[in-house]
Copies of this chain bind each other. A is one copy, B any other.
């Protein structure tokens, strides 16, 4: 049973149909009616050492990334990131590690204009849980469920860099820019705020396009066709990834932390002009359910499996 089934099975019944819960478990964030006109967007993610990051990862990068993956969920909803709490479990009170961790965490707090407002520190195997909170005007949050047939499927930035970095982790010639994409992903907060004016649906890419986009398709009751050669590549990715592994790294590698959004075609240009990151069209929403990857001739490209899951 994978983690999604686990959560759904045991915990979905715990989300009541309460008037103050506009959206419960099952999207990038919950949406809570905190005051008239204002919704609170909340998300939580745990990083376990050796599972979500290699144990040799620098403490500063662990600090940055544990915050980044949560802010990325707020970005996907179009929420303004405001506050986070940090629950830190450590095997020992290693001063040097703590200093570096907090520096990395702090660097992204500052870059994102977000405040750390609460925490808990306990002894145990290395694990970091961050809960991130943002605000969004009522009706403005971008959910997974709004994609419509004819929408363009677009992604911010480039895909596959982090997955390639992970594969080349011990290679002496791993380009720093790829390593940076693995260790210090940039949550697309500004893009999320801009895109909420246009997007019908959005999700952040943590498990890989092939693992995450289907959540949008299922929630929206639609399908998608994605053209493999349209997936945006960085210069270093194009230089270091072999032709045979490109699609697998870009669609199934995970750790991209880019946004995947469904846009009405007539909004594309305006949306692109409002973003500081590239926004690339990679496919289209269609009626037939499921996600198909196709080549330039429209022929299906089969994928091995869909995405990264913790309990398999």
Contact = CB atoms under 8 A, between A and B. Distances in A.
In the complex, which range does the number of interface residues on chain A fall in? 35 or more
A46 to B, nearest CB: 4
Interface string A104-136: 011001000001111111111101010101010
Contacts of A15: 115-117
A85 B125 contact: no
A102 B106 CA distance: 34
B42 A117 contact: yes
B46 A11 contact: no
A29 B118 CA distance: 7
Copies of this protein in the assembly total: 2
Contacts of A51: 122-124
B24 A89 contact: no
A124 B89 CA distance: 12
A118 to B, nearest CB: 5
Nearest to A32: B83
A120 B51 CA distance: 14
A83 to B, nearest CB: 6
A48 B83 contact: no
Interface stretch (A1-9, A211-219, A272-280): A1-9
Interface stretch (A33-41, A234-242, A293-301): A33-41
Contacts of A44: 85-87, 118-120, 129, 131
A169 interface: no
Contacts of A135: 34-35
A28 to B, nearest CB: 10
Contacts of A20: 82-83, 115
A43 interface: yes
A117 to B, nearest CB: 4
A89 B11 contact: no
Interface of A: 1, 3, 6-7, 9-11, 13-16, 18, 20-21, 24-25, 29-30, 32, 34-38, 40, 42-46, 48, 51-52, 82-83, 85-87, 89, 93, 95, 98-99, 101-102, 105-106, 109, 115-125, 127, 129, 131, 133, 135, 310-311
Given A1-B93, A44-B87, A44-B131, 16 more contacts: A9-B98, A11-B119, A13-B106, A25-B116, A32-B117, A34-B34, A34-B35, A35-B37, A46-B122, A46-B129, A48-B122, A51-B123, A51-B124, A93-B311, A125-B125, A129-B129
